[in-house]
Amino acid sequence: MSKKKKGETLETLNKGFKVPDTYVIIFFVVCFAALLTYLIPQGMYETQEVSYMIDGAESTRTVIKDNSFQYVLDANGEPLKKGVGLFEAGGGVGLLNYLFEGMVSGDKWGSAIGVIAIILVCGGAFGIIMRTGAVEAGIMGMIRKGNGKEKFLLPVLFIFFSLGGAIWGMGEESIPFAMLLVPMVIAMGYDAVTGVLITYVATQIGFGTSWMNPFSVAIAQGVAGVPVLSGATFRVVLWIIFTGAGMAMMLFHANKVKKILYRLFPMYLTHISEMT
């Protein structure tokens, strides 16, 4: 058995490739994009203003005209190739000030800094709540008080996790709760799939139909140039419909499984029910 040499650590012993940090990857992507500006000619599109109605009010936005692309030409009539510099003044984007300009460009509805603020506030608040154990304590208290009332407890938990996905963007955070609740759901006479349905699946339904998720809705609306959190009424209606449909599917599955298990293992499930 070989002995560990002096000065060696787990990092020095591990010779495998490690994925660089996300910021390192983004930096090299920016460097590559900056290099391409010296190789690819500049071009431009013609734009036009269009009007649309949102929440009963008329708004306008700038869109690109179809088939309007053309190259920028130099004094000799050739396509112009002009690479970016290290710094660009007057709001221009340079290699070393791309981060700042990217955050502050745009209006108050679409600038990246507003989306970043929403993510920091909402994500930080959710992280603090999770660290305090308040969510876990509330779920456990709900389970204790709902003993013998599983038909009411399962829908409440489903709605709770769906709201978590819709309001806080809860997704992979539900996996620890699934690991916690699956044994309890099995003890109630259901199966593991029921536990996954009321946790992970519920959060994905809420995430997909969210009206205020800062990690998807706010970012997408900021990129699209529409007011952040607009169209909330329509999304709330979608959330109600899809959450109700998902809850109905979960209850149908849970009741079907419980009937089958009681028919196959009546004495065991009766004993488990008495223990819980």
Instruction: Give per-residue pLDDT as tens, 128-174.
Output: 877 887 777 776 776 677 665 667 888 988 999 999 889 888 877 78
> In this structure, what token pair is assigned to residue 19?
């994925």
Contact 211, 162 (CB under 8 A): no
| 3-state SS, residue 74 | coil
Instruction: Note if the pTM is more than 0.75.
Output: no
As to burial, measured by CB atoms within 10 angstroms (0-12 exposed, 13-18 middle, 19+ buried), residue 174 is buried
Tell me which residue of 162, 256, 143 sits closest to 210, measured CA to CA.
162
Mind listing the pLDDT tens digit for each residue in 232-262?
889 999 999 999 999 999 999 998 888 887 7
Mean pLDDT of the chain: 78
As to burial, measured by CB atoms within 10 angstroms (0-12 exposed, 13-18 middle, 19+ buried), residue 37 is middle
Contact 160, 198 (CB under 8 A): no
The distance from CA 214 to its chain's CA centroid, rounded to whole angstroms, is: 8
Alpha helices in the chain (DSSP H): 10-13, 22-36, 98-104, 112-132, 134-145, 150-167, 174-187, 192-196, 202-208, 217-224, 232-264, 266-275
- d(C-alpha 215, C-alpha 234), whole Å: 19
